[in-house]
Structure 1
Amino acid sequence: MPTPTTWQKSSYSGGGDGADCIELAVQDGTVILRESDAPDVVVTTTPAKLRAFILGVKAGEFDHLADA
């Protein structure tokens, strides 16, 4: 029997009903992501690609998308 997935969300997601959150987990070495309001839609990536994305976010490479 597979172990259940433990999803983690950012503390910046706020409280309340948990809507509008991105949740992440690791499953068999693959990073999986989902939106809390659409939990059946799951995106997969590698830890290296997620790290590159997070570094880009921290460097402000995607700030222009938040202003859209």
Structure 2
Amino acid sequence: MAALTQWKKSSFSGGGEGNDCVEVADLRSHIAVRDSKTPTRATLTFPTGAFTAFLEALKTPQPAAR
């Protein structure tokens, strides 16, 4: 990732110092995701449409497991 990439930390950062979370960056055609504890390691990228659909699915209530 380029040094100019603007990363945003999740609002659900966990307790303590708030470093137990993920960060995301909008790369126009893709969304990048990385671990905030190890930002120089591997980064996952997803097409913007797929990532948007994933976020919408997380917001949709799921039926209880039987």
Q: Over the residues paired in the alignment, what is the CA RMSD in angstroms? A: 2.5
What SS does structure 2 have at the residue aligned with 1:13? Answer: coil
Give 1:37 shift. 1.3
For structure 2, the 5+ residue unaligned runs are none
Q: Which has the higher helix share?
A: 1
Distance 1:56 1:6, change over 3 A: same
For structure 1, the 5+ residue unaligned runs are none
Q: Distance in 2 between matches of 1:41 and 1:55?
A: 25
Pair 1:27 & 2:27 matched: yes
- The alignment's TM-score, normalised by the length of structure 2, stands at 0.71
Q: Which amino acid aligns with 1:7?
A: W
Q: Which has the higher strand share?
A: 1
The ranges of structure 1 where at least 4 consecutive aligned residues each deviate by more than 2 angstroms after the TM superposition are 14-18
What SS does structure 1 have at the residue aligned with 2:49? Answer: helix
Q: Distance in 1 between matches of 2:44 and 2:17?
A: 22
Answer whether contact 2:28 2:48 (CA < 8 A) is retained.
no
Identity of aligned residues (%): 34
Q: Which amino acid aligns with 1:10?
A: S
> How many residues matched?
62
